[in-house]
Structure 1
Amino acid sequence: MPIKDQIRNLAKKLVEEHPDAATLRALVRPRKPAAFRFRDDGIVPNNPRFPVLLYRGAVNLKSRRFPPEVIIDTLFDTNGWGRSWRDTVYDFVHYHSQIHEVMGVARGTARVECGGIKGRILRVKAGDVLVLPAGTGHRLIESSRDFGVVGAYPQDGTYDECTDMRERLDAVTRIANVRKPKSDPVLGRGGPLLTSWRTARSRS
């Protein structure tokens, strides 16, 4: 999301009550994520090293004290994924060539296309978390009226938004230079993202 959306969300976070570390740990369900690999389709580069990860039911959002958005936002921030935003997902294919992105579903359900038009449509619902490595094409196909996500980014990297095929060749170079994050956005420094992305190999 644009910087202005991140700033607006930061202002909101400053006045919210956030769960403490113990409460947050109790709301997180250890999950082994499903992994999805997508090839460069000639339009969307996707990522040659790292798979998309989907943690299903990773966050218990039935707290009476904290709104779902606050729980997910606090979880990501605690694990080093900041610059967050709260909204829906764009309904046009786009990707980020200089940074990875995580999206946690706070409310509702949706079908999200990952990997570009030749990729795969994933069904997500409240409590699911989707991690998109740099270069992964994504867009919203359809959703419930109340659908909302919290998005965030690791400490390293610069936000950008690619939609034009003319950017593709330069984007491929930028994607290759995006480093693996230091922490899993759901389970922290010992999370499965670090193992999954460490052992990921380039596709032929």
Structure 2
Amino acid sequence: MTFSEPSQPGADHSIETLYFKADGLLPNNPELPAVLYTDALQDKPENAEQIFNSNGWLNSWVNGVFSYHHYHSNAHEVLGVMSGSASLQLGGDSGRTVQVSAGDVLVLPAGTAHKRLSATQDFRVAGAYPGGADYNTRRATPADLEAALPEIARVPLPESDPVYGKAGPLLRIWRAD
């Protein structure tokens, strides 16, 4: 599903929802889609961390994306591309590859597997979690899957969209599901 949501901080961009099923070792999220905001921060990609923090997505960091499948079973995560570009695989080996570049924002519901396939040398992302959640990092193992399933079910919806705040499209999209 693709939406057009012209509003600040980025002027014109598209919003795409991406659904993934469990694959045997990676749970993904059985209820909520990942959401890709293309060019949402096109005017100020370097301000991603500050924008997320101002909208209540805290415990932030700036770095890259691991080159192996991983997920967070106890928190949703936002990734904002600050510089460069990358090819990311979402949802595990049978999931989907997305191309992201400076200004793009990806919101991953708890349990959504992700990894970096390739990236430019200058690829940097800001990551953050609703309310500053202290996130875990799980991998594609039977033990992690077993522990993750009840954790994912307990993660509450965020109070705000990491880019657009309380009136943002993320809350409408996730409540509709």
Q: Same fold (TM over 0.5)?
A: yes
Does residue 69 of structure 2 align to residue 87 of structure 1? no
- Structure 2 unmatched ranges of 5 or more: 1-6
Q: Distance in 2 between matches of 1:184 and 1:129?
A: 11
* Letter of the structure 2 residue corresponding to residue 158 of structure 1: D
CA shift, 1:199, in A, is 1.1
Aligned to 1:56: 38
Does residue 143 of structure 2 align to residue 166 of structure 1? yes
Does residue 111 of structure 2 align to residue 129 of structure 1? no
CA shift, 1:197, in A, is 0.3
Cα root mean square deviation, aligned: 1.6
Q: How many residue pairs align between the two structures? A: 170
CA shift, 1:29, in A, is 3.0
- Structure 1 unmatched ranges of 5 or more: 1-24, 63-67
Q: TM-score, normalised by structure 1?
A: 0.79
CA shift, 1:157, in A, is 3.8
Aligned to 2:48: 72
Instruction: Report the identity percentage.
Output: 43
SS of the residue corresponding to residue 33 of structure 1 reads: strand
| Deviation by residue 1:150-194 (Cα, 9 ceiling, x = unmatched) | 111101643100013212112111001101000000111011100
Q: Is the 8 A contact 1:97 1:160 kept in 2?
A: yes
Aligned to 2:85: 109
Aligned to 1:177: 154
The change in CA–CA distance for 1:79 and 1:35 in structure 2 (over 3 A counts) is same
CA shift, 1:28, in A, is 3.1
Question: Which of 29, 33, 37 in structure 2 is aligned with 1:47?
Answer: 29
Q: Distance in 2 between matches of 1:85 and 1:116?
A: 23
SS of the residue corresponding to residue 146 of structure 2 reads: helix
Q: Is the 8 A contact 2:42 2:104 kept in 1?
A: no
Greater strand content: 2
Structure showing greater radius of gyration is 1
